Amino acid sequence: MGGGCVSMQETVRYRLIVPGDATKLRKIFGELRPSIAGLTSRDICLAMYRDALVARYVVVVLALQDDQPCGFVIAIINWRTYWQRFCIRHPILAVKIAWKRMVRRICGGSSSSKRVQNDEDARDRHVGSEPSDRCWKQSSPQIAKIVFIGVALHCRGQGIGRRLLEHLFRALVSRRIKRVDARISAGNTASTELFRKSGWLIEQDGLDVFATIDLPVY
């Protein structure tokens, strides 16, 4: 075919965040509105961005098309230690996170029966049965947790999510991380399939899905 045809994937660049990326991250965060630690505020995204610039505990990979953000992934290393330090560095956000968790505990049981059934149906369709001794609560300097991965709506279906994971893995391997975990809402079948097709072990985790994978050791 003609040589002038360039796929979207060929125009997308992937890199770790750098100083000056706050505006880009704020833009894509505003479009995707992910929930991180129960908060959808851009403040938590920017707080983790600042942490990623100064500490090894946070890794953020951006996908850029024509220098505009079209996706990103955030992972934290040794998550228990990270969140303890996060609360010290960002006390106002820590209070908001604690408040959200308390509200969820109080209100979650009485209003979620329909969601529970829907999530269980989706989970049963997309979760494998192979058990392991791993779980989300495990924390170690050699374990990273993906707290969010997302791609802009107009860029989905182009393999950007898979490439984000590949670039994240390279960054984590360079930091001697041996294992990566993720926790996915059972209703998020697209993410579950992304992880499954990328070779992750998929398990049930209450109403959510737990995914885990070993990284190569060089």
Q: What is the pLDDT of residues 2-47, one digit of tens each?
A: 444 435 556 899 999 999 999 999 999 989 988 888 888 888 988 9
pLDDT score of 112:
44
Which residues make Cβ contacts (< 8 Å) with residue 199, sequence separation at least 6?
Answer: 213
Q: Give first-to-last CA distance, the chain, whole Å.
A: 40
- Cβ neighbours around 74 below 10 Å, total: 24
Q: What is the rounded average pLDDT of the residues 103-125?
A: 53
Q: What is the pLDDT of residues 79-98, one digit of tens each?
A: 999 999 999 999 999 999 98
Q: Tell whether the model's pLDDT for residue 111 goes beyond 80.
A: no
* Highest mean predicted confidence (pLDDT) among 32-41, 64-73, 97-106, 203-212: 64-73
pTM above 0.85, yes or no: no
Q: Using the Cα atoms of residue 207, residue 81, residue 74 and residue 216 in order, give the sign of their dihedral.
A: negative
More confident residue, 190 or 75: 75
User: Rounded distance, CA 8 to CA 30, Å?
Assistant: 22
Q: What is the pLDDT of residues 190-202, one digit of tens each?
A: 889 889 988 999 9
Span of 21-30, 58-67, 99-108, 159-168 with lowest mean pLDDT: 99-108
Domain extent listing, the chain: 8-104+115-214
Q: What is the pLDDT of residues 163-182, one digit of tens each?
A: 999 999 999 999 999 999 99
Architecture of the domain delimited by 8-104+115-214: 3-Layer(aba) Sandwich (3.40)
